[in-house]
Amino acid sequence: MDIFAPTASLHAGAIWPEVVVTLTLLLVLVVDLVGGSSVRKSLPVLSILGLVGALVTLVLQWQQPQPESFLGSFAADPVSILFRGLVVGTALLTVMMAERYIVQSGTATGEFYVLLLTATVGGMFLSGATDLIMVFVALETLGIASYLMAGYTKKDPRSSEAALKYLLIGASSTAIFLYGMSLLYGLSGGQTHLEAIALHMGDAGLVGIIALVLCIGGIGFKLAAVPFHQWTPDVYEGSPTPVVAFLSVGSKAAGFALAVRFLATVFPAMTEEWQAVLSVLAILTMVLGNVVAITQTRLKRLLAYSSIGQAGFVLIGLVVGTEAGYASLIFYLLVYLVMNLGAFLCITLFSLKTGTDEINEYSGLYQKDPFLTLCLSICLLSLGGLPPLAGFFGKLYLFWAGWQAGAYTLVLVGLVTSVISIYYYVRVVKTIVVKEPQEMSVSVQNYPETNWQEEGMQALRVGMVFTLVATIFAGILSNPLFTLSTQAVEQSPFLGFPTAQAPTSESTRLQARVDGALGAFTTADG
C-alpha cells in the first residue's frame, strides 16, 4: 500500500526516509509533551528506532533510485542516498552519545532529540535538493537546528557564546549564499532548478564568477574550509560534545553533498574556475587545520582543527572531480563517520566521568580504563591514517585518485600534512598509553569505576564497540564499501559518469528478450 499513490506523478516515495524521521520527530515531541518526565527514558529509544527505520528505507531505496521527484526539486539518486545515510548514521550515533550526556547535564530531554532530528531531516533534504529554494530551506533547517543545539546547555556561558558566534557567522554566510543564489536566479532568467540554471551558465561571464564565489563562500562555511573555518574551534569547544560530534560529521557530510551536487550540476561550464578556487581552499585547509592542531591543549579543540584538516583531505576528492575522486570522497566520509564519532564517544565518556577534556588530564588512563584507551587510541590513529585502520585506506584512495587526476601538489600537501597530523594524534595516544602510573593526572587518579548500568551508558558502550570494530575492519574489508561508493557515483546521472556496464547489460537484456521472442515464434512455427 502506497499512501503517496494519489500523488504518484510527484514520485513522493523518494522522501520515505525523511518522512520516517519527521514522524519520529513528531512522535518524540508529542510523547514528551504528554508523558512528561516519566517517559524520559523512552525518547532516545524512539529516536533510535526512527533513525534505524530511516536507514532501512534508505537501503530499500537503493534498489530503486529516483533521480527525479517532486517536479525536479529533489533527487533520490544513489549519491544522495549515501549522503542521507551518512547523516542518519551520524544522528544515530549522536543519540547514543547524547542520552547519558543529557541526563547528566540536567537539561530538558525531549527538545534535544527533536532538534537533532530536525537537523537530520534538514541534512537529508540538503543531500538530495536540486532546486535553489529547496537547497536554501534545507540548509536553513539544518543551520537553525544546529545553532539551537550549540547553545543547548544554556547555563554554560561557553555554550551560549558558541551559539552566538555560530549564529552570527552562520547567518551571514547564509546571506552570502543566498545572494549568490539570487544571482543565479537572475542569470538564468528565472530558473530555480539546478540543471535548468546550468544551461544558462555557459556565457555568464564575470557575474557568473561572482555567483560561484558567493556560493562557495556559503558552502565553505558548512565544510569548515579555510578561510570560512573560524567558527569551528570555538563552537566545538563550547557546544555540548554530542552536538559537536553531529556537526563534525553529519553537518559536514550534508555540506559535501551540497558541494558535490551544486558544483557538478550548476557550474559544469566553469569547472576550471571552481577547481582552481577549491584547490587553494584545500591546500589552506589541510595546512592550517593540521598545523594549528599541534598547539591545542583541549581534546575537543584539537578535534576541531583536525576536522578542518580532514575536510581538506576530502576536498582533494572534490577538486579532482573524477569518478574515482567522488568515490574516494564518499568512501572517506564513510570511514570518517566511524572514526570521528568513535573519538567523540570516547571524549564524551571521559568528560562524563571526570568533567574535563584537557589532554593532560588523560595521562595514564590506560590503567584505569583500558577499553576507553583502546577505543580512543584506535580512532585517533585511524584519523592519522595509520594502517591497517580505516583511515589509512580512506587516505590511500584519496591520494590515489588525486594522483590519477594529476593533482600532484594537492597529494603532496596531503601527504606532508598527514605526517603532521600523525604527530598530534600520537601525542594524545602517548598521554593516554605511555605515561607511567606516577605521572597519572588528578582526574585519572580519581577516576570512578564505570557503571554500565546507569541510564544511557549502555547506548554509549554499544556505540563505542560499533565504531571501534568498524574503524578496525572498514579498511581491511573496504572492498564492498568502495564498490558501493563507486557504484553510487556511476549511477547518479547528475555527475555525468555513465556506467560502462549499464548500457551493454541493458542492450544484452533487450537482445535476450528479442531472442526469446523469436525463439518462441520459431518453436510455435515449427
Partner 1 sequence: MLSVLIALPILGSLLLFLGLGGRKLAVVLSGIPLAISLLLFRGFDLQTAGMQWLERWDWIPQVGLNYSLGLDGLSLLMVALNGLITLIAVLTTEPDVKRPNLFYGLILLMSGAVNGAFAAQNLILFFLFYELVLIPIYLLISIWGSGKRDYAAIKFLIYTAVSAIFLLGAFLAIYWIGDPHSFELAEIRIADFSPAVQTLLLLAVIVAFGIKMPLIPFHTWLPDAYGESSPPVAMLLGGALSKLGTYGLFRFGLQLLPQAWADLGGILAWWGAIAVLAGALAAIAQKDIKRMVAYSSIGHMGYILLGMAAATPISLTGVMVQMVSHGLILALLFDLVGLVERKVGTRDLDVLNGLLNPIRGLPGISALLILGGMASAGIPGLVGFVAEFLIFQGSYSDFPLPTLIGILGTGLTAVYFVILLNRTCFGKLDNRTAYYPRVENWERIPGVTLAALILWFGIQPMNLVKWPQPLAFTLSTQVAQAQTIMLAEATDLAE
Residues of the shown chain interacting with partner 1 in the complex, contacts defined by CB under 8 A = 381, 386-388, 392-393, 396-397, 399-400, 403-404, 411-412, 415-416, 419, 422-423, 426-427, 429-430, 433-434, 478-479, 482-483, 486
- State the residue for C-alpha cell 569548515: 224
CB 497 → partner 1: shortest distance, Å? 14
Q: Which is nearer to partner 1, 16 or 424 (CB)?
A: 424
C-alpha 473/C-alpha 493 separation (Å) is 31
Q: Which is nearer to partner 1, 14 or 405 (CB)?
A: 405
For 363: left if phi > 0, alpha if psi spans -120 to 50, otherwise beta; the answer is beta
CB 311 → partner 1: shortest distance, Å? 21
CB 492 → partner 1: shortest distance, Å? 18
CB 347 → partner 1: shortest distance, Å? 21
Nearest of 346, 439, 369, 459 to residue 96 by alpha carbon: 459
The residue type at 259: A
Nearest of 360, 377, 372, 345 to residue 242 by alpha carbon: 345
C-alpha 33/C-alpha 456 separation (Å) is 21
Q: Which is nearer to partner 1, 451 or 479 (CB)?
A: 479
Q: Which is nearer to partner 1, 256 or 397 (CB)?
A: 397
Within 10 angstroms of residue 63's Cβ, the number of other Cβ atoms is: 6
- State the residue for C-alpha cell 567523540: 344
Q: Which is nearer to partner 1, 139 or 411 (CB)?
A: 411
C-alpha 52/C-alpha 424 separation (Å) is 35
Nearest of 96, 101, 139, 95 to residue 119 by alpha carbon: 139
CB 479 → partner 1: shortest distance, Å? 5
CB 297 → partner 1: shortest distance, Å? 17
Q: Which is nearer to partner 1, 273 or 430 (CB)?
A: 430
Q: Decide: 16 and 23 in contact? Cβ < 8 Å.
A: no
Nearest of 315, 252, 330 to residue 283 by alpha carbon: 315
User: Would you state the cell numbers that stand for residue 213, as one nine-digit string?
Assistant: 564565489
CB 343 → partner 1: shortest distance, Å? 16
Q: Which is nearer to partner 1, 209 or 386 (CB)?
A: 386
Q: SS3 for 41?
A: coil
